Structure 1
Amino acid sequence: MTPTEQKPEPGGQVSDAVRGNWVDRFAPEFSRPYLRLSRADRPIGTWLLLLPCLWGLALAAAVDGWRLFDLWIAIGCGLGAWLMRGAGCTWNDITDRDFDAAVARTRSRPIPSGQVTVKQAVAWMFAQMALAGLILLTFDWTAVLLGVSSLGIVALYPFAKRFTWWPQAVLGLAFNWGVPVAWAAHSGDWPGLPAWLLYASGIAWTLFYDTIYAHQDKEDDVLIGVKSTARLFGADTGKWLARFLVAAVTLMGLAVLLALGPGSGVLALIVALAAPWALGWHLFWQISRLDIDDPENCLRLFRTNRNAGLLPALFLACAGFL
Structure 2
Amino acid sequence: MERPAAPSLPDAVRGHWAERWAPSRLKPYLRLARIERPIGWWLLLLPCWWSAALAALHAGRPWPDPLHCVLFLIGAVAMRGAGCTYNDIVDRDLDTKVERTRQRPLPSGQVTLRGALAFLALQGLVGLIVLLQFNGFAIATGFASLGVVALYPFMKRFFWMPQIVLGLAFAWGALMGWAAAFGSLSVAPVLLYLGSIAWVVGYDTIYALQDIEDDEVVGIKSSARFFGEQVKQGVGICYALTVIFITLALVQASAGAISFAGLALFALHLGWQVARIDRGDGAGALRLFRSNRDAGLILFAAITLDCLI
| TM-score using structure 2 length | 0.96
Provide the C-alpha distance between the structure 2 equivalents of 1:111 and 1:234, rounded to a whole number of angstroms: 30
In structure 2, the residue matched to 1:59 is: 54
**Does the aligned pair in 2 maintain the 1:250–1:276 contact within 8 Å?**
no
Please give the secondary structure, in 2, of the residue aligned with 1:36.
Answer: helix
Say which SS state the counterpart of residue 205 (structure 2) adopts.
helix
1:286 is displaced (CA, Å) by: 0.8
The one-letter amino acid paired with 2:288 is L
Instruction: Name the structure 2 match of 1:236.
Output: 230
Task: Judge conservation of contact 1:83–1:129 (CA < 8 Å) in 2.
Answer: yes
Match of 1:227 among 221, 230, 238: 221
Q: Which residue of 1 aligns with 2:141?
A: 146
CA displacement at 1:148 relative to structure 2: 0.7
1:112-165, Cα deviation, whole Å (9 max, x unpaired):
111001111011001101111011111111110000110111111101111211
Counterparts of 1:144 and 1:74, CA distance in 2: 16
Gap regions ≥5 residues in structure 1:
1-7, 261-267
Q: Distance in 2 between matches of 1:96 and 1:203?
A: 23
User: What does residue 21 of structure 2 align with?
Assistant: 26
Q: Say which of 29, 42, 46 aligns to 1:47.
A: 42
Identify which of 194, 203, 206 aligns with 1:200: 194
2:6–2:110 contact (8 Å) kept in structure 1:
no
Q: Distance in 2 between matches of 1:97 and 1:115?
A: 12
Asked if 1:298 corresponds to 2:297, the answer is: no
Q: Kindly state the Cα deviation for residue 316 of structure 1 after the two structures are TM-superposed.
A: 1.0
Task: Using the TM superposition, give the Cα deviation of residue 47 of structure 1 relative to its aligned residue in structure 2, in angstroms.
Answer: 0.2
**Is 1:91 equivalent to 2:86 in the alignment?**
yes
- TM-aligned CA distance change 1:245 to 1:69, over 3 Å: closer
Q: Once the 2 structures are TM-superposed, how far is the Cα of residue 69 of structure 1 from its aligned partner?
A: 8.3
Question: How far is 1:276 from its partner?
Answer: 2.5
Shift in Å, 1:64: 1.1
Match of 1:313 in 2: 300
Question: Do structure 1's residue 211 and structure 2's residue 198 form an aligned pair?
Answer: no
Give the fraction of aligned pairs with identical amino acids, expressed as a percent: 47
The two structures have a TM-score, normalised by structure 1, of 0.92
Q: Is the Cα–Cα contact under 8 Å of residues 248 and 276 in structure 1 kept in the other structure?
A: no
Give yes or no for contact 1:9–1:108 (8 Å, CA) kept in 2: no
Of residues 266, 269, 272, the one that matches 2:259 is 272
Cα deviation, 1:97-117, whole Å, max 9, x if unaligned, reads 111111110111000111001
Partner of 1:127: 122
Between the aligned partners of 2:159 and 2:258, the Cα distance in structure 1 is 39
- Which ranges of structure 2 fall in alignment gaps of 5 or more residues? none
Following the alignment from structure 2 to structure 1, what is the Cα–Cα distance between the partners of residues 251 and 140? 27
Aligned-residue offset at 1:269:
1.1
Paired with 1:16 and 1:107, the residues of 2 have a C-alpha distance of 13
**1:67 to partner: Cα distance:** 7.1
| Preserved contact between residue 65 and residue 321 of structure 1 (Cα < 8 Å) | no
Moved over 4 A (4+): 8-11
Return the match for 1:81 from 70, 76, 83. Answer: 76
Per-residue CA shift, 1:2-32, capped at 9, x if unaligned?
xxxxxx9965422321221111101111111
